[in-house]
Amino acid sequence: MMTICLNARTIAAAAALATAGLAISAQAQDAKTGQSFVDNFDRIDRKVWYISDGWDNGAHQNCTWSKTQVKVANGVLDLTFEKGAGKTRDYICGEIQTRKRFGYGTYEARIKTATGSGLNSAFFTYIGPTDKKPHDEIDFEVLGKDSGKVQVNQYISAKGGNEKLIDIAGGADAAFNDYAFIWEKTRLRYFVNGTLVQEVTDPSKIPVNDQKIFFSLWGSDTFTDWMGKFEYQDPARMQIDRVAFTAPDEKCVFPESVTCVLN
């Protein structure tokens, strides 16, 4: 996320922290976290995934989360954005998140992003004040205004400012691409299509709290400096072919995993 623009999770976290007076000092990861898995989205397992429905993340978001915008077809998870009657918005959009939290390990997803200025296709991990934790987050975000790049970023105790733009050959919305990050206590590495594109070793810039895995497609009329002018034309679609988590020191959970390649 660009420093000049706060996203929905940042705004919500700041408000909650101010209200509740939560300490944002670093906390250790929980002992109980999710186990290694791979999901090829033959169906949506409701024991694994929670579908956001009936709310939005703030005034900057011009769509309401709707379960109708989250579907599986032909082994692919579709998150869609289109005109529709949300509670307070003219558009409806899709988001899905894991019910469990996950700690250090390898996170991977194969994604084709949405097209359209003002839209954000995101694969990220997040935890925050609603879970009685500081705001920690690790991001891949593709902005529809320029689908030739993906932005990587991380938040530690609600502090961001670690953005880097990575080129996506052929465009993130033209075909499926592989996004991965390996999160360790002393290092965080981002990969695109198996290539290392960013490495973080400064401990102050590496999250410490275990987090939930999210996929979301949303839009904004107000974040024009960051997301571009909102220009809706047709129903937009973000597609996720696969997601996986591999815990440290465990075997890779699918053959193309960066964990297999690196080991």
Give the start-to-end residue ranges of the domains of the chain. 8-17+39-262
Q: Which residue has the tokens 């009936």?
A: 54
Burial (0-12, 13-18, 19+ Cβ within 10 Å), 19: exposed
pLDDT at 25: 32
- Asked if residue 236 lies in contact with residue 11, where contact means CB atoms within 8 angstroms, the answer is no
pLDDT at 32: 55
pLDDT at 130: 87
- Nearest by Cα to 215 from 130, 113, 131: 113
Q: Given 2.60.120.200, 1.10.150.120, 3.40.50.2000, 2.160.10.10, which CATH number is that of 8-17+39-262?
A: 2.60.120.200
Per-residue pLDDT 10s for the chain (263 aa) are 433 333 444 434 333 333 333 333 334 455 457 899 999 999 999 999 999 999 999 999 999 999 999 999 999 999 999 999 767 899 999 999 999 999 999 999 999 999 999 999 999 999 999 899 999 999 999 999 999 999 999 999 999 999 999 999 999 999 999 999 999 999 999 999 999 999 999 999 999 999 999 999 999 999 999 999 999 888 899 999 999 999 999 999 999 999 998 87
**How far is 232 from 91, CA to CA, in rounded Å?**
10
**How far is 234 from 83, CA to CA, in rounded Å?**
9
Q: Which residue has the tokens 């890779």?
A: 252
pLDDT at 187: 97
Indicate which residues carry an active-site annotation: 137, 141
Sequence-ordered list of residues with C-beta below 8 angstroms from that of 203, at least 6 positions apart, any chain:
186
Q: Which H or E element spans position 197? A: strand 195-200
**How far is 42 from 122, CA to CA, in rounded Å?**
21
| 49-51/136-143 β-pairing | unpaired
pLDDT at 181: 98
pLDDT at 16: 36
Neighbours of 239 (CB within 10 A): 22
**How far is 62 from 91, CA to CA, in rounded Å?**
7
Q: Which H or E element spans position 15? A: helix 8-20
Q: pTM higher than 0.85, yes or no? A: yes
DSSP lists the bridge partners of residue 102 as 211
Q: Which H or E element spans position 73? A: strand 70-73
3-state secondary structure of 18: helix
3-state secondary structure of 155: strand
**How far is 90 from 83, CA to CA, in rounded Å?**
6
DSSP string, 43-60: S--TTTEEE--S--S-TT
**How far is 110 from 216, CA to CA, in rounded Å?**
14
